Amino acid sequence: RFHDDTGINVEFLFGGDAELRERLASEGADTQADVYMTVDAANLALAAEQGLFQPVESQTLTGAMPANLRDPHNRWFGLSMRARTLVYDPDEVDAQQLSTYEALTQPRWQGRVCMRNSTNSYTQSLVASLIAHHGFDRALAALARNPLPAVVVVEPAGTDQRSTDALASMTQRLEGIAGVDRAQLDVEWVERLFALLSLLERAVSAVGALLGLGVLLIVGNTIRLEILNRRAEIEVTKLIGASNAFIRRPFLYSGLLYGLGGGLVAWALLAVGRWALAGPTQRLAAAYGSPFQLHGLGGEATALLVASGAVLGLLGAWVAVGRHLREIEPG
């Protein structure tokens, strides 16, 4: 209908809220997105705080939307309302005992309710809806304790084993600070991750060394075949007084070009691989609440890759020429 009325083509991009916010933040002013839609106002408020939205000056929107259903600076507007429902087994729960969210505050449900943590946007929206319906004082009076306690998230700057040891010590100090109810640190999975990353780094280094050796052998064998194919030409060249350095030079150039071409092909394969895996990787990271993204090789890394290929090609050619050129003598 919108396309028929305006002639404007609309392209939809679906994803998790964290994934889409991370994409908007990474694209910055170059983003092609025009409208961001989500199912919860807390996500809109979070995106607005991150500076991802621009205000919209529209008398139609401001006239149709009550002030409590839009951002004070017109950065987002609430276009729909959601009904939050309670799902239960009627054989286990009496409908008269559990017909509202407020009923969950009764003693009979203590220890039987499982909810997301206080930093989750849906939990915040649920408490906000109770406050909007009953008023701030009445809503909080029905709760035994603050459902949204202040949470301070500390992100470590280091990523080595010593950092995890320091974090464990810092956690103990934080627990002793007045006003801190609990300091939580799950460091076991971090240590396992670091151990796994260290193992993977060594494995990648070993594979890289084997690939480098493979380049030397392949280029060396290619140059050896070229020398054998041009044996007669080399013998004639030596008869007229050409030095080994003169004869060696074109083969070294060939090895250099082989290595250079191999480095460029490797860079192209990495670029294609990153392009193919970027989307799935970003969706997987968003599912775990991580902003992780695959990045391509920078200028220095690309230059190092191509230069390494050229050096390996030159070295392979040097070894092959030095060995086989001595075996070729006139007569």
Q: Last residue of a domain, which of 122, 149, 176? A: 149
Confidence of residue 185 (pLDDT cuts 50, 70, 90): confident
- Is 50 found in the same domain as 161? no
**pLDDT(126) > 60:** yes
Considering just the CA atoms, what is the radius of gyration of the chain in Å?
33
135, 253: one domain: no
Residue 9: per-residue pLDDT:
84
Q: What is the mean pLDDT of the segment spanning 143-162? A: 62
pLDDT computed for residue 175 by the predictor: 77
Residue 57 domain-assigned (yes or no): yes
Counted domains in the chain: 4
State how far the Cα of 40 lies from the Cα of 20, in Å rounded to an integer: 14
Q: 169, 185, 201 — which closes off a domain?
A: 185
- 73 domain-assigned: no
Please write the tens of the pLDDT for every residue from 244-264: 788 888 888 888 888 888 888
* 291 in any annotated domain: yes
Per-residue pLDDT tens digits for 270-298: 888 888 887 787 777 766 656 667 777 77
Statement to judge: residues 142 and 207 lie in one domain: no
232 shares its domain with 310? yes
Least confident of 106-115, 254-263, 300-309: 106-115
pLDDT band for position 147 (cuts 50, 70, 90): low
- 166, pLDDT greater than 80: no
Residues 43 and 133 in one domain: no
pLDDT of the residue at 157: 64
**Range of 33's domain?**
1-64
For the ranges 84-88, 89-93, 228-232, which has the lowest average pLDDT? 84-88
> Cα separation of 70 and 58, whole Å?
12
Judge if 235 and 315 occupy the same domain. Answer: yes
Domain boundary among 92, 122, 149: 149
Q: What per-residue confidence (pLDDT) applies to 150?
A: 66
For residue 48, give every residue at least 6 positions away whose Cβ sits within 8 Å of its Cβ, in sequence order, or none.
Answer: 71, 73, 75, 76
Q: What is the pLDDT of residue 144?
A: 60
Is 161 domain-assigned?
Answer: yes
Q: What's residue 132's pLDDT?
A: 78
Indicate if the pLDDT at residue 146 is higher than 80: no
Query: Who has greater pLDDT, 117 or 305?
Result: 305
Q: Do residue 315 and residue 197 come from a single domain?
A: yes
In tens, the pLDDT along 186-209 reads 667 767 777 787 888 899 889 888
The verdict on 195 and 305 lying in the same domain is yes
CATH number of residue 126's parent domain: 3.40.190.10
Q: Are residues 160 and 40 in the same domain?
A: no
Tell me, yes or no, whether 195 and 178 share the same domain: no
pLDDT at 258: 87
Q: Is 172 inside a domain boundary?
A: yes
Is residue 302 situated within a structural domain?
A: yes
Least confident residue range of 45-49, 54-58, 186-190, 270-274? 186-190
- In a domain? residue 43: yes
Mean residue pLDDT of the chain comes to 80
Residues 56 and 111 in one domain: no
- Higher model confidence: residue 240 or residue 179? 240
Which pTM does this prediction carry? 0.45
Q: Is the pLDDT of residue 90 over 80?
A: yes
The answer to whether residues 21 and 139 belong to one domain is no
Q: Would you say residue 12 lies in a domain?
A: yes
Per-residue pLDDT at 267: 87
pLDDT confidence of residue 70: 87
